[in-house]
Every structure is written in C-alpha cells, then in structure tokens.
Chain A
Amino acid sequence: MTKSTIEAPIPGTFYRSPSPQEPVFKNEGDAVAVGDTVGLIEVMKSFTPVIAETAGTLVAFHVENEDAVMAGQPLYDLEA
C-alpha cells in the first residue's frame, strides 16, 4: 500500500458536496476511481470539479467543507 496526497489544483473555496442539501461526493473510507468527482473548488463564483486522476481508497481529508484552499494545499490522502 502506498499513500499519496492529492493537492488543490487551483485556489478557491473547497466544497465536499454539489450543494448544501445534497450528500458529499466522497466519505473517508470510500473507494475512488479515476474520473470520480471528489469535491468542487469555487473560484471567483465559477465551480471547478476536483477529479481523481488516480484510483484508491480515500483515507483522510485535510480540509473541511467550505474551507479556503490555496493551489498546492493538500486536499486528501489516497491509499492504493
């Protein structure tokens, strides 16, 4: 098992669900496939999905829902 840390591709506000009323995209412990949406980053009122480029198990989030993130800041850890 190797652990990798996925970083924010762009700065903005991180969201774990598509809207406040909807469930989160991923929980800790969930399997992540390539192409899965893990969260959204809002930049200047436009939303960019955070898409998984590697598969594995999401073991931990480093940021909370609605946290401000900078580009390169750790978002989540993946075990593969």
Chain B
Amino acid sequence: MAISKILVANRGEIAVRIIRAARELGLKTVQAASAADETMLAARLADQTVCVGPPHASKSYLNGDALIAAARDTGCDAVHPGYGFLSENADFAEAVEAAGLIFIGPKAETIRKMGDKAAARREAELAGVPTVPGSDGVVKDVAEAQTAADAVGYPVMIKAAAGGGGRGIRIAANAEGLAQLIPQASAEAKAAFGDGGLYLERFVRRARHVEVQILGDGERAIHLFERECSLQRRRQKVWEEAPAVCLSPQQRQALCHSAVKLAERVGYRGAGTLEYLFDEETGEFFFIEMNTRIQVEHPVTEMVTGVDLVGWMIRIAGGEALSLSQEDIVLRGHAVEARINAEDPAADFRPHPGTVGGLELPGGMGVRFDTMLYPGYQIPPFYDSLLGKLIAHADSRERAIARMQRALGELTVEGVPTTVPLHLALAGAKDVRDGAFHTGWLEEWLKGRPLADDATPEKE
C-alpha cells in the first residue's frame, strides 16, 4: 500500500468513519480541524490533530492550501476529503496530486467531467444510460417548443437555460398550456437571469430518488446495488434505504447494469454514486447526476452487502486492484437509515447548536450508529446539523423498520432537540411502512402536522 498516513480533510461523523476505516487497515490518521472543532470526536480519535484555520469553513475546510500544507507538515501521504467541502473540487484534487500526495477519490478529470451536468449527461447518453427526455437544447419559440414537447411527452417542465436550483420552473400539461406559459417564462427568465432561453424536460409527477453505488479501480467497476432516498425535506435527504422497495428484480438489474456501464466508460476510480429519477407509473429510470465521492447514506449499502466502502476507497487509492467481482456482491436483507440532526421538529426544524448533556446510545443486533456525539460535546453552530446516522438492518424491510423503531426508542440526546421524533413518526406512518412515497411525500405529510402534541398516531 502506497499510503501510510492520511489527512482527514473533513469533520463530524464522516471524519470518525474515515479514521475507523484507516485504523483497521493499519494506517495513521491526522485530523484537520478548524478552531471550533478541536474538541470534536474525530480529533480525539485521530493519532494527531492539526488546526487548519478559523471556524468559518471558507477559512478552514474549504481552504485547500491550508489543508495541503497541514498534510505535508505532518508527513501524510494521502488526503481523504469525505463528503461536501472540497470532496468534489477538481482543482483541489489536482493540487493534492501536484503536492505529491494521493487524493483518495477519483481522478481530477473525472470529477471535472462528471461535475459538469451537460458533460455528465452526454457521457450517460454515450454509455446508453437513459437520461430525462427533453428538448435538444434551447427552444426558440412556441412552435418549436410544441414540436419538442410532442416528442418528450406531457406534462413537460419549462426550465430557464440560465437558471438553477429549481428557480423559475413551470409545468405545462398540454400544448395549449405550453403556448400560454412559454412567453411568460421567457420574460421572467430574461428579467431574473438576463437570458430568456428556455428548454423542456419531461415532468415526472411522482418521482422516486434511487441511486446506485459503484466501486471502480480505474479499469473495472462493479455496482453494490441501489439505495432509495425519496424521503426528503427541502431537497435534503431525511431517511434512506437499501435496496429500493419500488424496483422489480428486472428493473434493479437494468438500473445497476447501466451504472456500471457509465462508471467503466469514464474509467471511474474509487467509490461513486449515480443518481436516478424513477417514474413508478411507467417503470422508467433516468440518470440525473453522478456524485464522485462517498455519500452520507453509504452505510445502508455496507449493511446489505457487507462491503466496507470507505476501506475500499483507501485501498484503491493506495494502488490495490479491485479484487471483488460482481458475483461477490450479494444483497442480504434490508437496511434503513435515519439522519439524526440537531434540529427542532416542533419549531419548523430550526437548527439548534448546544451542549450535549446525557447520552444514551442504542445497540443490539443489526443496529449501527455512526455519530460524532459524546457526553459534554459542544455542537458548534458553524456547520451542518447532522449529528449522526442511525442504521437498522434486518432480513426484511418490515423487520428493519421495526428494529429502527426500537433503536430510536433507545436513543436519548439531552441538551439539544433532535429529529428523533420525526423518525419515530415516520417509522409508524402507514405510507412509509407500505413503501408508498415519492420525493414530494414528506413535505405533504408534514403539512398534516403529524408531530404536533395533539396529533393522533397512525393506526396500522
């Protein structure tokens, strides 16, 4: 192995996860910590901690020069970026390599290519992976839009070419609606973005978010089946599962096979995830984007496949060939993950930093809690609100949810409100138990105030 000492260029629970994987491989770790994070759990667990800057992430975890200097000063030979921060920054990956260090992730050119939505879509098409049907670029006028929409199929989404983040999206149910909305949308796009260009995309009313985990060594790639992350609030995943309850075995096979084709086409190295939108009504799936890093919800995949994804990222970066073959990857049972955030479900999920008092952790068969918490820990206000991920694994989905419910009941975090009450309500909700949800389901369900004091619990 070309790696002996890793700089962990991240924080929170994922830093703990990386240190654990490295230690099991017999490697040393140096934790990069901002001035606000010197008491965090990862800093306690690492062999060494080095301060990389002030609390604000732009001056510490996003400061590539400081991170690379820290790695060199402490004699590290590799950098693990975790998720978020600089994990999908091609310039950082390049700078790490230029400094003579190993970047634990894909090649910089892969990050750059797959980070460009249009380029990623092109690669997917070339690999024969379906993408969301849409107009071929910008539509000039109503007539051209109608011709394109006929091919795409109604309802269609009208999107601003210069827009982003869901801004200015309109939905037309038919040709008349389209004729009405096009001039309006174009004028608005012009006012908002200085560019009236519009394009069309198929609108999937009840979309489910499925994603395929892959591992590659630059030559060969395999899939580790899929996850479903349709339970989202404000586009943030709340509860994840593996496998996806909505897929038939044939659909699963086709989906996962398509992900391997795309990963091999781009010579993918390390762990990556291909995100898809699944239309339950038609059974079609469409590639959306690729995340070229480890993901928050990777443990559900680890539980159902028994493969240590973070360990493999390090081994592949250290020069080892992927010795797993596709036949080695077998799905065993079902896993669910609940994101435990420092947010107050009773106050519109307002984030809530503070000091952890008493802490009681769940345990027992099939339960895993990846967390940054310890009694007395001061949760800083400068970063996201994720405290940990509670994962329950069992031989069936029904038993995994029952196990999750039991484990949530054992978890007590004193001192700050958490999203535990949300997850208890979700685990008891009929639609969740039936697997009958889509990406808009959670927000609709929350409008019924299922967490209010006077709410009646759902009956089976």
Report yes or no: A44 in contact with B342, Cβ–Cβ below 8 A: yes
Asked if B193 CB lies within 8 Å of chain A CBs, one says no
Asked if B10 CB lies within 8 Å of chain A CBs, one says no
Q: Could you say which of B342, B350, B382, B384 contacts A68, with CB atoms under 8 Å apart? A: B382
- How many residues of A are in contact with the other chain, CB < 8 A? 11
Asked if B430 CB lies within 8 Å of chain A CBs, one says no
Asked if B36 CB lies within 8 Å of chain A CBs, one says yes
User: Digit string of B328-359 for contact with A (CB within 8 Å is 1, else 0)?
Assistant: 00000000000000110000001111000000
- Across the interface, which residues of A come within 8 angstroms of B353, CB to CB? 11-12, 43-44
Asked if B146 CB lies within 8 Å of chain A CBs, one says no
Report yes or no: B385 in contact with A44, Cβ–Cβ below 8 A: yes
At the interface, is chain A mostly helix, strand, loop or mixed? Answer: strand
Report yes or no: B56 in contact with A13, Cβ–Cβ below 8 A: yes
Contacts of A23-44 to chain B: CB distance below 8 A:
42-44
Report yes or no: B56 in contact with A43, Cβ–Cβ below 8 A: no
Asked if B383 CB lies within 8 Å of chain A CBs, one says yes
- Bound form: Cα–Cα A44–B383 in Å: 5
Asked if B133 CB lies within 8 Å of chain A CBs, one says no
> Closest Cβ of chain A: how far from B418's Cβ, in Å?
13
Report yes or no: B56 in contact with A66, Cβ–Cβ below 8 A: yes
Report yes or no: B350 in contact with A13, Cβ–Cβ below 8 A: no
- In this complex, what residue of A is CB-closest to B386? A44
- In this complex, what residue of A is CB-closest to B34? A68
Report yes or no: B56 in contact with A12, Cβ–Cβ below 8 A: no
> Closest Cβ of chain A: how far from B352's Cβ, in Å?
8
Asked if A10 CB lies within 8 Å of chain B CBs, one says yes
- In this complex, what residue of A is CB-closest to B351? A44
- Bound form: Cα–Cα A68–B56 in Å: 7
Interface centre among A12, A13, A44, A45, by most chain B C-beta atoms within 10 angstroms, is A44
Asked if B421 CB lies within 8 Å of chain A CBs, one says no
Report yes or no: A43 in contact with B36, Cβ–Cβ below 8 A: no
- Across the interface, which residues of B come within 8 angstroms of A10, CB to CB? 381
Q: Could you say which of B54, B55, B351 contacts A43, with CB atoms under 8 Å apart? A: B351
User: Digit string of A5-29 for contact with B (CB within 8 Å is 1, else 0)?
Assistant: 0000011110000000000000000
> Closest Cβ of chain B: how far from A50's Cβ, in Å?
14
Asked if A46 CB lies within 8 Å of chain B CBs, one says yes
Report yes or no: B56 in contact with A45, Cβ–Cβ below 8 A: no
Interface centre among B55, B56, B351, by most chain A C-beta atoms within 10 angstroms, is B351
- Bound form: Cα–Cα A12–B56 in Å: 9
> Closest Cβ of chain A: how far from B408's Cβ, in Å?
22
- Bound form: Cα–Cα A12–B381 in Å: 5
Report yes or no: A13 in contact with B351, Cβ–Cβ below 8 A: no
User: Digit string of B244-286 for contact with A (CB within 8 Å is 1, else 0)?
Assistant: 0000000000000000000000000000000000000000000
- Across the interface, which residues of B come within 8 angstroms of A13, CB to CB? 55-56, 381-382
Interface centre among B351, B353, B381, by most chain A C-beta atoms within 10 angstroms, is B381
> Closest Cβ of chain B: how far from A24's Cβ, in Å?
18
Pick 26 A–B contacts, CB within 8 A, sort by A. Answer: A10-B381, A11-B353, A11-B381, A12-B353, A12-B381, A13-B55, A13-B381, A13-B382, A42-B381, A43-B351, A43-B381, A44-B343, A44-B351, A44-B352, A44-B353, A44-B382, A44-B384, A45-B351, A45-B384, A45-B385, A46-B350, A46-B351, A66-B56, A68-B36, A68-B54, A68-B56
The 8 closest A-B pairs by CB, nearest first: A44-B351, A11-B381, A44-B385, A12-B381, A68-B55, A43-B381, A46-B351, A43-B351
Supplied contacts A12-B382, A44-B351, A44-B352, 15 more A-B pairs, CB within 8 Å: A10-B381, A12-B353, A13-B55, A13-B56, A13-B382, A42-B381, A44-B342, A44-B343, A44-B353, A44-B381, A44-B384, A45-B384, A46-B351, A68-B36, A68-B382
